[in-house]
Structure 1
Amino acid sequence: MKFVHSLLASALAMTIAGAAQAAVSAEEAAKLGTSLTLIGAEKAGNAAGTIPEFTGGLPTNTSPPGYKPGDAVRPDPFASETPRVSITSKNMAEHKDMLTKTTQELMSRFPGYRVDVYPTHRSVTLPKPYQDNTVKNATGTKSIEGGMAMENALPGVPFPIPTTGTEVMWNHLLRYQGNTLSTKYDSWNVDAAGAATLATTGLGFVEYPLSDPDRINVPASADEIFYRIKLYYSGPARRAGEALLVQDSVNPLKQPRRAWQYLPGQRRVKLAPDICCDTPNPGSVGASTYDDTFVFSGAMDRFDWKLVGKKEMYIPYNSYKLTYEPDTAKYIVPNYIEPDMVRWEQHRVWVVEATLKPDARHIYHKRTFYVDEDSWVAVASDEYDARDQLFRGSFAFLTPSWDVQASNATTHMVYDLVGGTYNITGVYGPHGGVKYIDKLSKAQWSAESLAGAGIR
C-alpha cells in the first residue's frame, strides 16, 4: 500500500494517557492557505491529473437546471458526465490499491458489481468564519486524555494538520454539516435472499452546537455537547410513536454519551445507556452497531488509534443522483446498491486504523477508516472480527449542500459480509431532501420533549 506520507512516529507520541498533545508549530500552520487549503487539504492536484487543484469548491450560487433557491432537493451539478473508467472483477487487479477491502470483496463475490469512476470534482466548500477558526485551531487546539478528548477548539476543524489517528477522527466527529438540519428519512434492510424491508421511517433532527454562528469565537468546554440527534419514528406500524435522543460531549471520559428513549407501550421516557458502541442497531436488524452511524460516531476509548497516512482512493462522492432519487427501487436491489446509481471519484483520504484495546469489549477487533481530505467526512470503513477476517464495511454518500456550504453525508450504509445483508439509512430522496433550519430551543432538546411523539 503506497501512502503519500506516513506519520507513525508522531502517532507514538500519544502513548501517555491523560497528557496534552501540543498543537502544531506556527511554521507548520503557515502552510494553511498556501500549500494546504484553510482546512488542511492538499491544495494541488495529483501528478496524473486525475485529482484537480482545489479552487474553492462549488459556489453558493450553483444552480443546476430545475433548482430554486431554498429547495431542499439539490439537483446533480454533474449529471451530464460519463464514467472515465469502470472497474469490475475482470480489471480489479489494476485498481486494487485504490479500493477499500469491502469494495474488493463485493467485486469478487458478485459478477454484476462494479465501480464507475467519474471525473473528480473537489466540490466541498465551508463557511469563511469556520475556515478562519480552523487556522487558529492549528496552533490552539490540544489533544487531551490520550486523544480521547480535546480542549480549546474554536468552531472549525480542530486539527487541520493532524499528527495522530484520534485527531483525524475528531475532525470527522466535528465535521461541518451545518448547525441544525432536519429530514424525514427511511432505513432499509436487504437480506441475503435479496428481499428489501422498510426498517424505519422517521423525522430526524441533527444539531452540531459548536457550529452555531452565535458562538463562533467561543472555544469548546469539556462538558459541552458537540453533537445531538433526535428521531421520531412514524413507521412501520410496530415502531410508530417511538422516539430517541442522543448527545455527545467534547470530553466523553468526563461526560459520556447520554441517550433517552420513548416507547409508547411504556408511556415514559427513560435513560438508554446501551445506545452506543457495539450495541446492535435495531433499525438495521443488527447488521450495524450504534457507532457505525455516519461510518463512525461516539467515543473512541475502546480502541487504540493509528494514523497510517494519506493515499488516493476511489470513494463515493458528489452522490446527488442516489441521495435525492425519490424511487428507492432504482438502487435498493439484491446484494448491493445498484452500481448505475453510485458515483465514485478519485480523492485523497486519510487512513486511520483502530485496534481494540486488550481490556476492552467490541464486536470489531480492528477497523480501518477512510476520511476525505476536503471535508473531513469519514466516507468508508472496513471492519474485522476477532479472527481478523473482514466482517463489515460501510460507506457514506457525500453530497455537498452548496447553498449552505455544508458537507452533507446523511445517507450512509453498512454491508454485513458474513450475513450477506446490507442496511442503508438516511434515505431522504422520497421525502423531499435535507432542510437546514433554525436551531431548536433548549426545551426541544430536553428528554421530556420525546414524550410528545408517543402517539400510535
Structure 2
Amino acid sequence: MTKLTKTLIAAGLLAAHAGVLHAAVSATEAQKLGTTLTSFGAEKAGNADGSIPEYTGGLTTAPAGFDASTGIRPDPFASEKPLFSIDAKNMDQYAAKLSEGAKSLLKNQPGYRIDVYPTHRTVAYPQFVLDNTVKNATRASLSADGLSVQGARAGTPFPIPKTGNEVMLNHIARFQGLRFVIPKYTAYNVNASGRKVISTQGMWANESAFYDLSRPADENLMTRARANYSGPARRAGESLQTAEPIDYTTLGRRAYQYLPGQRRVRLAPDLAYDTPNPSTSGMSTVDDTNLFSGKMDRYDWKLVGKKELYVPYNTYRFTYADNPDEVVGPKFLNPDVVRWELHRVWVVEATLKEGQRHIYAKRTYYLDEDSWAALAVDQYDGRGQLWRPGFSYITALYDQSAINNTPVSHYDVIAGTYYINLWPGKYGLKISNSLLPDSKWTPDNLAGTGIR
C-alpha cells in the first residue's frame, strides 16, 4: 500500500469517527489530480510487483471486427490465457485478495474456480468528464446528512474521497455514457436443484442527466431508467420507470409502474430499499440493482480503506456471450467465461442504523478505483451470517470512453440459489451521446410502451 493510500485512509477514518461530513478538498490537495492521482482520483502508479499496471489512459480503440450497429463488443483480450486459477485447494494462498463471498463459493461449491488474467486498466473518460471531475474536487460537498451531493456536475463528485458516503455517491454517479440501452436483456434464476428459468426479459434504458451539460445546472436529476418487459408471458407488457435525484433534501426517488391488467400507471414508492426486485422474481432487493442503488439513509457508511482484490473485469466474453447455456450453470456462472483481474478497490462497510429496517444487517462493498463501480459485495443477515454475496461484470465501452457494469449476479449461499440480471448476451448494448426528450419519460408515455 502506498504512502498516498495510507494518508487517504487515515483521513477518511478520522472524519468518519468524528462524525464530520466532508466538504470540498483544498486547492492544494486537488493538485494531486493529474499528478500522483489520475484526473478521476485513482492511483496513477501500478503496484509494487507490477501485477497492477500504471494507468496510461484506458482503452479507446476498438478491436478489429467491431460493428457499432450490433452493440456487441468483441473481446480485445480474446487471445489471453489465465495466469493461474484459484480453487478450493489453493484458495488459502490468495485469501487476502478475495472477498468473503468469493471464498464462500470456492469453499462450498465443488467445481467453482476463479480464472485470473493479466490486469488491464481499460477505463477511459471523455475530456469533459475529466475536466469537471477536477473542478468537482474543490466545489462538491455532501448534503442531506451525507445522502446527497451538492455543487458537483458532469464528473465524479468526490475524486479524493474521505468518507464512505462519498465513495458510494461516486458509484451512484459513475459515468456510463449519457444514455445506454440493452435492447433485450435476460434475467435467469437458478434454483437449488440447478434448474434455470427466465425471470424476466425486456428492454432496459438508462440516462445520466447529471452528465448532460445542455440541461439546467440546477436540475435535481441524477439518472432515470426504464424497463419494458417482454417475457416471460406472464410479465409481458409490464413496464417500470425510476428517476433518482441528485439532492434527496427536496426530492425522493420517483418510481412508476404500468401493469397491463390494470391498464394504468401507478406511483410505486415501494420500488426501493429491500422490496423484492420484480426483475429477479424476488431473488434480490430493489437496491441490489447495480449492487447498490437508491437512497443511503438506512445505513451508516464507513470507509474502511483500499486494497487489492480479484474482481470480475473486462468480462466481454461473458457479457456478450451468444449462448446462455454457455454462461448459466446449475450452481454458478460458468467459470470458463468469467474473467477475473487484480484491481485496487475502495472498501466500504454499510451497517444498518438502529431503528431502521432492511433484510441485510451489514453490507461490505468493493468499488473499483478507476470506474468507481461497485464490483463485489458481501451481504449479511441479522444473525451476522454471510447470505447474499454479489458481483457485477464490468466492460469498458471502448467506442465511447465509458463503462458498463449493469449485469449483476447474487448468490444465496444459504439456500444454494443464484441469479444473473440485466445480461445483454447476443443482443448487445447500445450507447448514445444524447438523451431522449423529457416527454418520453412521462407516466403517460410509460403507459404507451406497455401491451394492453
Partner SS for 1:383: strand
8 Å Cα contact 1:152-1:220 kept in structure 2: no
Q: Deviations over 1:112-167 (max 9, x none)?
A: 00000000000000001100111111111011222111110021000000000000
The offset of 1:435, in angstroms, is 3.6
- Structure 1 Cα separation of the partners of residues 16 and 150 of structure 2: 15
The offset of 1:8, in angstroms, is 5.4
- Structure 1 Cα separation of the partners of residues 443 and 17 of structure 2: 38
1:412 matched residue in structure 2: 408
- Structure 2 Cα separation of the partners of residues 393 and 453 of structure 1: 34
The offset of 1:220, in angstroms, is 5.0
TM-score normalised by structure 2 residue count: 0.96
Correspondence list, 1:41-440, <5 A: 41-59=42-60, 62-183=61-182, 184-215=184-215, 219-220=217-218, 224-436=220-432, 438-440=434-436
- Structure 2 Cα separation of the partners of residues 309 and 2 of structure 1: 12
- Structure 1 Cα separation of the partners of residues 98 and 426 of structure 2: 30
Partner SS for 1:306: strand
1:13 matched residue in structure 2: 15
Q: How many residues align?
A: 449
- Structure 2 Cα separation of the partners of residues 412 and 55 of structure 1: 28
- Greater shift, 303-312 or 146-155, is seen at 146-155
Change (3 A) 1:435 1:25: closer
The offset of 1:453, in angstroms, is 2.5
The offset of 1:263, in angstroms, is 0.4
The offset of 1:192, in angstroms, is 0.7
Partner SS for 2:306: strand
2:30 matched residue in structure 1: 29
Q: Deviations over 1:314-338 (max 9, x none)?
A: 0000000000112111010111100
Partner SS for 1:147: coil
- Greater shift, 421-430 or 365-374, is seen at 421-430
- Greater shift, 340-349 or 8-17, is seen at 8-17
Gaps of 5+ in 1: none
CA RMSD of aligned residues (A): 1.9
8 Å Cα contact 2:240-2:257 kept in structure 1: yes
The offset of 1:369, in angstroms, is 0.4
- Structure 1 Cα separation of the partners of residues 176 and 380 of structure 2: 29
- Structure 2 Cα separation of the partners of residues 236 and 200 of structure 1: 6
Runs of 4+ that moved beyond 2 A: 1-17, 68-71, 218-221, 432-438
- Structure 2 Cα separation of the partners of residues 24 and 68 of structure 1: 42
- Greater shift, 116-125 or 69-78, is seen at 69-78
The offset of 1:374, in angstroms, is 0.5
8 Å Cα contact 1:124-1:374 kept in structure 2: yes
8 Å Cα contact 1:7-1:164 kept in structure 2: no
TM-score normalised by structure 1 residue count: 0.95
Partner SS for 2:444: helix
8 Å Cα contact 2:320-2:426 kept in structure 1: yes
User: What amino acid is the match of 1:146?
Assistant: D
2:41 matched residue in structure 1: 40
- Structure 1 Cα separation of the partners of residues 351 and 21 of structure 2: 22
8 Å Cα contact 1:15-1:146 kept in structure 2: no
The offset of 1:283, in angstroms, is 2.3
- Structure 1 Cα separation of the partners of residues 159 and 351 of structure 2: 23
- Structure 2 Cα separation of the partners of residues 68 and 146 of structure 1: 46
The offset of 1:57, in angstroms, is 0.4
8 Å Cα contact 1:32-1:39 kept in structure 2: yes
Q: Deviations over 1:407-453 (max 9, x none)?
A: 11121111111221111111111323334363111111111111113
The offset of 1:20, in angstroms, is 5.8
The offset of 1:22, in angstroms, is 1.8
- Structure 2 Cα separation of the partners of residues 20 and 364 of structure 1: 25
The offset of 1:342, in angstroms, is 0.4
- Structure 1 Cα separation of the partners of residues 296 and 18 of structure 2: 16
Change (3 A) 1:304 1:201: same
Change (3 A) 1:441 1:406: same
- Structure 2 Cα separation of the partners of residues 290 and 152 of structure 1: 28
Gaps of 5+ in 2: none
- Greater shift, 181-190 or 251-260, is seen at 251-260
- Greater shift, 176-185 or 424-433, is seen at 424-433
8 Å Cα contact 2:225-2:243 kept in structure 1: yes
Change (3 A) 1:389 1:262: same
Partner SS for 1:351: strand
The offset of 1:69, in angstroms, is 4.7
- Structure 1 Cα separation of the partners of residues 371 and 18 of structure 2: 30
8 Å Cα contact 2:15-2:162 kept in structure 1: no
Identity, % of aligned pairs? 50
- Structure 1 Cα separation of the partners of residues 21 and 136 of structure 2: 15
8 Å Cα contact 1:154-1:220 kept in structure 2: no
- Greater shift, 276-285 or 384-393, is seen at 276-285
- Structure 2 Cα separation of the partners of residues 116 and 65 of structure 1: 25
